[in-house]
Chains A and B, each alone.
Chain A
Amino acid sequence: MLGKHTLKGKSGCTVLTLCCVLVMIFAFGCRKKEQPQGSRRGSSTETTKPVPAPERVYQADTDEKINLRILYAGLPNTERAKDFTDFLAEHFAQVETIDYNTFKEGQSRGFDVVILDYAPRPNISREYSRATITVGVPGADICSSLSLKTGYL
Chain B
Amino acid sequence: MGDAAHAELLDHEVYQKPFKVAPDFEFWDTPDNYRRSHIGDDKLPDKMKVWRVQNTGKDYGGVVARAYGFTDSPDAEVLALGFNRGKEYGAVGVGRHGNFLQWGYSAAPSKMTDAGKKFFVNCVCYIKRFDGKAPLVRTTSSHRLDALRLAALINRIKNKDFFSATFSSDLMEKYAADPNGLVQYYKTDFEMIYRDKVYRIDSELKSLGLDSNRGIDTLERLIGLLQDKTHADAARGLLTRYTNESFASADQWQHWLESNRDRIFFSDVGGYKFFVAPKGYLLPDSP
User: Interface of A with B (CB < 8 Å)?
Assistant: 53, 55-58, 66, 68, 70, 79-80, 83-84, 86-88, 91-92, 112-113, 115, 126-137, 139-140, 143, 146-153
Chain B residues contacting A149 (CB-CB under 8 Å) are 65, 69-70, 73, 76, 92, 95, 97, 135, 139, 269
Chain B residues contacting A88 (CB-CB under 8 Å) are 124
Per a CB cutoff under 8 Å, which of B95, B125, B134 touches A129? B134
The reply to whether B19 and A129 form a contact with Cβ atoms under 8 Å apart is no
A-B pairs with the 5 shortest C-beta distances?
Answer: A150-B102, A87-B109, A147-B138, A131-B131, A83-B108
Question: What are 15 A-B residue pairs whose CB atoms fall within 8 Å in the complex?
Answer: A53-B20, A66-B125, A112-B128, A127-B134, A129-B99, A130-B99, A131-B127, A131-B132, A133-B124, A134-B101, A135-B103, A139-B104, A143-B97, A150-B65, A150-B97
Complex alpha-carbon distance, A152 and B134, angstroms: 19
Question: Which residue of chain A has the shortest Cβ distance to B20 in the bound complex?
Answer: A55
The reply to whether A148 and B127 form a contact with Cβ atoms under 8 Å apart is no
Known: A84-B108, A136-B62, A139-B104. 17 other contacts (CB 8 A): A55-B20, A55-B22, A66-B18, A68-B124, A70-B124, A83-B108, A87-B109, A87-B117, A88-B124, A135-B105, A139-B63, A140-B65, A140-B102, A147-B138, A147-B140, A148-B139, A149-B95
Chain A residues contacting B125 (CB-CB under 8 Å) are 66, 68
Complex alpha-carbon distance, A88 and B120, angstroms: 10
> Which B residues, 100 to 124, have Cβ-Cβ distances below 8 Å to chain A?
100-106, 108-110, 117-118, 121, 123-124
The reply to whether A132 and B66 form a contact with Cβ atoms under 8 Å apart is no
Chain A residues contacting B102 (CB-CB under 8 Å) are 133-135, 139-140, 143, 148, 150
The reply to whether B127 and A113 form a contact with Cβ atoms under 8 Å apart is yes
Q: A140-B63, A149-B70 are in contact. Are A131 and B99 (CB under 8 A)?
A: yes
Asked if B130 lies at the interface with its beta carbon under 8 angstroms from chain A, I say: yes
Q: A133-B101, A136-B105, A137-B63 are in contact. Are A147 and B139 (CB under 8 A)?
A: yes
Asked if B90 lies at the interface with its beta carbon under 8 angstroms from chain A, I say: no
Complex alpha-carbon distance, A121 and B184, angstroms: 40
> Which B residues, 76 to 105, have Cβ-Cβ distances below 8 Å to chain A?
76, 92, 95-105
Chain B residues contacting A55 (CB-CB under 8 Å) are 19-20, 22, 118
